Amino acid sequence: MIKVLFVCLGNICRSPMAEGLFRDLIEKRDLADRVHIDSAGTHGYHIGAPPDERARQTMARHGVDIGAFEGRKVDVVDLDQFDYVLAMDRSNLRDLERLGGGSRPHVRLFLEFARASAEREVPDPYYGGPDGFEHVYALLEDAAAGLLADIEQRLNQP
């Protein structure tokens, strides 16, 4: 089982969007029994809260329901339990490094997997409008395709 954790600040916008999008990709590839996906925030502002309404609406427009997700805070144990701990931006990455992920190669920026975008940070859409959430979706979709290819390669190794 390969385990993937998406991490943003509060776990109500970017990381649940990434979790939902990637979960959908994994299910469509019939890999749900081989890949575990979760998301968390570096801060506990929204523990137990559902994703932001704008994030839910954006994902629904793309056929993905994230309404049942609940915010949680990343824990040091996550750094050992997940094969990929993927931060949305450099600030989240620094928080993960301070938590103990600094010397772990599987703790990295999610957009390192992007194929079309030159951006390396997923901007926080929280204080903006719907266009920001659509931009985030496009970035996540690009990186998710690259991550899926990486995972499929790992799964197919002898």
Instruction: Please report, in tens digits, the pLDDT of each residue of the chain (158 residues total).
Output: 999 999 999 999 999 999 999 999 999 999 999 999 999 999 999 999 999 999 999 999 999 999 999 999 999 999 999 999 999 999 999 999 999 877 788 999 999 999 999 999 999 999 998 899 999 999 999 999 999 999 999 999 87
Hey, where are the domains in the chain? 2-155
Catalytic residues: 8, 14, 124
CATH of domain 2-155: 3.40.50.2300
Q: What is the DSSP string of the chain?
A: -EEEEEEESSSSSHHHHHHHHHHHHHHHTT-TTTEEEEEEESS-TTTTPPPPHHHHHHHHHTT---TT----B--HHHHHH-SEEEESSHHHHHHHIIIIITT-TTEEEGGGG-SS----S----TTS-HHHHHHHHHHHHHHHHHHHHHHHHHHT--
Can you give the pLDDT at residue 157?
Answer: 85
pLDDT digits (tens, 9 = 90+) for 91-122: 999 999 999 877 788 999 999 999 999 999 99
Can you give the pLDDT at residue 104?
Answer: 86
